[in-house]
């Protein structure tokens, strides 16, 4: 007795294969369009900005003349800003993730905290700018300083780092924790010597992506009133400063065509900075993946 009709099976297989080919083509076209737009953008930026990449461009301050404009103050200001954002956001973010995953009891209160952290990850950046303006710039009298901007940007990326760190900690097998406890280790020893080393690749990936977002943000800085052009370098965390995105924005909105080329050169430098950050993250992640 024959329970399966081969013709029916073949018809269904053909229809499924056709549907699969259709969606495969749709996804391929979507990916190709995105890559095509990216290639056009890169070609235009490189063709316009390469000619302005010279030593004077890196050593000059901002200017109202395109041939004299440079990114010295903006580049140094961006580096200062990252030196504040990185330790503040990573220490608070990873510490919060460790507490929520390893110490906090699972109840309605922790669920409420977790829900709000997830919601904060989707809040527009300008809202964090208003928060930073109210608390850091005015209440704490930090003004337009690097410290005020760094703390504001740290709040912006903190939810992303917390969620990424939590996912990385959850991914560590329970057997490793139990083996550590079985060897007589305390909870803190287990976290620092077993859980965190195994979770570092995931934590670094999320943290670097969040820091990359912070490098390119302008809305919170505009709300804080950070100046666009400065003719001096910051000498402390309480000094005024400017950043690459703000400098690029100022050049791009100017009517002179020469400033469009200068803005393209600034974009190349900003992209190079992001590539370096992501390369460091990939290197560290691969190094720890080989060990754990």
CB atoms within 10 A of CB 243: 30
> Which pLDDT score, from 0 to 100, does residue 291 have?
57
pLDDT tens-digit series, residues 198-207 = 888 888 888 8
At 39, is the pLDDT very low, low, confident or very high (cuts 50, 70, 90)? very high
Task: Give yes or no for residue 174 having a pLDDT over 90.
Answer: no
pLDDT average, residue stretch 205-214: 87
pLDDT tens-digit series, residues 61-84 = 888 888 888 899 999 999 999 999
CA atoms within 13 A on the CB side of 284: 18
| Dist. CA 265–CA 52, nearest whole Å | 6
pLDDT tens-digit series, residues 224-259 = 988 888 888 888 899 999 999 999 988 988 888 888
Task: Give yes or no for residue 94 having a pLDDT over 90.
Answer: yes
* CB-based burial, 179-206: b 16+ in 10 Å, e otherwise: ebeeeebeeeebbeebbbebbbbbbbbb
Specify whether the CB–CB gap between 201 and 285 falls below 8 A: yes
The string of DSSP letters for the chain reads ---S-HHHHHHHHHHHHHHHHHHHHHHHHHHHHHHHHHHHHHHHHHHHHGGG-SHHHHHS---SSGGG---HHHHHHHHHHHHHHHHHHHHHHHHHHHIIIIIS--SHHHHHHHHHHHHHTTS-HHHHHHHHIIIIIIIS--TTBHHHHHHHHHHHHHHHHHHHHHHHHHTS-HHHHHHHHHTT--HHHHIIIIIHHHHHHHHHHHHHHHHHHHHH--HHHHHHT--S--SS---STTSB---HHHHHHHHHTSSSHHHHHHHHHHHHHHHHHHHHHHHHHHHHHHHHHHH-
Task: Give yes or no for residue 52 having a pLDDT over 60.
Answer: yes
pLDDT tens-digit series, residues 115-162 = 899 888 888 899 999 999 999 999 999 989 999 999 999 999 999 999
């Amino acid at each position: 007795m024959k329970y399966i009709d081969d013709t029916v099976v073949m018809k269904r297989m053909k229809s499924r294969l056709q549907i699969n080919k259709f969606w495969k083509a749709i996804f391929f076209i979507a990916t190709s369009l995105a890559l095509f737009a990216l290639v056009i953008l890169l070609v235009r930026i490189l063709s316009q900005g390469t000619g302005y990449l010279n030593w004077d461009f890196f050593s000059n301050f901002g200017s109202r003349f395109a041939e004299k404009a440079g990114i010295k103050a903006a580049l140094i200001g961006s580096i200062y800003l990252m030196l504040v954002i990185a330790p503040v956001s990573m220490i608070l973010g990873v510490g919060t993730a460790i507490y929520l995953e390893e110490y906090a009891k699972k109840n309605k209160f922790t669920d409420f905290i977790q829900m709000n952290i997830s919601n904060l990850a989707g809040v527009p950046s300008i809202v964090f700018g208003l928060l930073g303006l109210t608390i850091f710039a005015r209440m704490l009298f930090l003004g337009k300083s690097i410290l005020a901007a760094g703390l504001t940007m740290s709040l912006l990326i903190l939810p992303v780092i917390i969620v990424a760190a939590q996912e990385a900690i959850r991914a560590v097998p329970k057997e490793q924790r139990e083996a550590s406890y079985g060897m007589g280790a305390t909870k803190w020893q287990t976290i620092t010597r077993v859980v965190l080393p195994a979770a570092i690749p995931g934590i670094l990936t999320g943290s670097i992506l969040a820091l990359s977002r912070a490098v390119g943000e302008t809305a919170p800085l505009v709300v804080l009133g950070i100046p666009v052009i400065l003719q001096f370098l910051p000498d402390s965390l309480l000094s005024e400063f400017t950043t690459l995105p703000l400098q690029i924005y100022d050049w791009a909105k100017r009517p002179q065509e020469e400033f469009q080329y200068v803005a393209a050169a600034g974009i190349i430098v900003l992209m190079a900075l992001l590539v370096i950050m992501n390369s460091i993250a990939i290197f560290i992640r691969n190094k720890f993946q080989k060990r754990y």
